[in-house]
């Protein structure tokens, strides 16, 4: 018999309550207490669960600088037609845009960092529809 498992991405940070509120607002989720006083969780639609753990010595990743790895990042799928609006919303909540590395027209992945410095991406899983109609798979 297999035991039911629920994956939860946990991010270390200095202020878990603040970071949880950022992601709860971004994902229309609810902030809930975690298993200890230093843990906070966010539960959102479609089974999304994130956890935030207090680390008193926390230092944010330095990506995209080459001397440190990216560690991990969260990818949030958004319809291609909504990418600009989703990016504006994230920035209004405290996210900071990270360089794309290209200026070649529309970008289907928007890289940002949350208020604690963790990188995340807003990504269009499907191409944007054209004027002739919706994108074909």
Residues 16-34: tens digit of each pLDDT: 999 999 999 999 999 999 8
Domain boundaries, the chain: 7-57, 60-132
Q: How far is CA 128 from CA 8, 59, 66, 122, 132, in A?
A: 30, 37, 31, 14, 11
Q: Coil, strand, or helix at residue 14?
A: coil
Model confidence pLDDT, tens digit, residues 65-124: 666 555 667 889 888 899 999 999 999 999 999 875 656 666 788 999 999 988 888 988
CB atoms within 10 A of CB 101: 9
* Stated pTM of the model: 0.72
Residue range 7-57, CATH number: 3.30.720.120
Q: What is the pLDDT of residues 42-69, one digit of tens each?
A: 999 888 899 999 999 888 877 666 665 5
pLDDT at 136 over 50: no
Assigned token pair, 116: 């604690």
Class in CATH terms, 60-132: alpha beta
pLDDT, residue 96, reads 95
* H-only helix segments in 28-115: 83-92
Sequence-separated (6 or more) residues with CB below 8 Å from residue 127: 80, 108, 135
What pLDDT does residue 62 have?
72
Q: Taking the mean position of all CA atoms in its chain, how far away is CA 12? A: 14
């Amino acid at each position: 018999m297999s035991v039911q498992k629920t994956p939860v991405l946990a991010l270390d940070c200095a202020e878990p309550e603040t970071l949880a509120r950022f992601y709860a607002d971004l994902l229309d989720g609810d902030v809930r207490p975690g298993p200890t006083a230093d843990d906070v969780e966010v539960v959102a639609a479609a089974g999304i669960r994130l956890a935030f753990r207090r680390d008193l010595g926390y230092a944010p990743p330095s990506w995209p600088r080459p001397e440190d790895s990216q560690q991990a990042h969260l990818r949030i799928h958004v319809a291609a037609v909504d990418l600009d609006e989703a990016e504006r919303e994230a920035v209004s909540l405290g996210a900071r845009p990270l360089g794309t590395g290209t200026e070649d027209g529309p970008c289907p992945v928007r890289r940002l960092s949350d208020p604690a410095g963790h990188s995340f991406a807003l990504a269009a899983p499907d191409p944007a529809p054209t004027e002739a109609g919706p994108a074909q798979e």
